[in-house]
Amino acid sequence: MRILPTLLIALAACSGDSEKGGLDLGQATDCSECSTDQICVVVFSDEKSVTCEDVPAECADDASCTDDECMIAMFESCPEDFINTGCSDTFPPTVISCNP
């Protein structure tokens, strides 16, 4: 059940104005810098990192956490050794949480 608290933290950290233009792919300060056609990948390790990435092709135009194929493709954005992952698509952009 460690995923739920982490998702809540990620959601709180990533809430913001989704009308912003978004960044090019790469580092961000928080998820509010990602556009609605990107996913926000939050990696919790020694230092937290946030990146805005393109929605995977498997997701078509909807980065949905309920579509298994799409969710698996989005989880591939996490580092290889991170086994605790979470997905939140309540508010755009979709947030992927990667935890060691």
92 lies in some domain: yes
Q: What is the pLDDT averaged over residues 87-95?
A: 94
For residue 34, give its domain range.
Answer: 3-10+27-99
19 lies in some domain: no
Phi and psi at residue 12, to the nearest 5°: -65, -40
Q: What is the pLDDT averaged over residues 85-89?
A: 95
93 lies in some domain: yes
Number of domains in the chain: 1
Q: What is the pLDDT of residue 60?
A: 87
* DSSP 8-state code for residue 59: G
89 lies in some domain: yes
Q: What is the pLDDT averaged over residues 31-42?
A: 94
17 lies in some domain: no
How far apart are alpha carbons 37 and 27 in whole angstroms?
16
Three-class DSSP category at 61: coil
16 lies in some domain: no
70 lies in some domain: yes
Around 60, how many Cα atoms within 13 Å sit in the side-chain half-sphere?
6
How far apart are alpha carbons 83 and 18 in whole angstroms?
29
- Assess contact for 49 and 71: CB atoms under 8 A: no
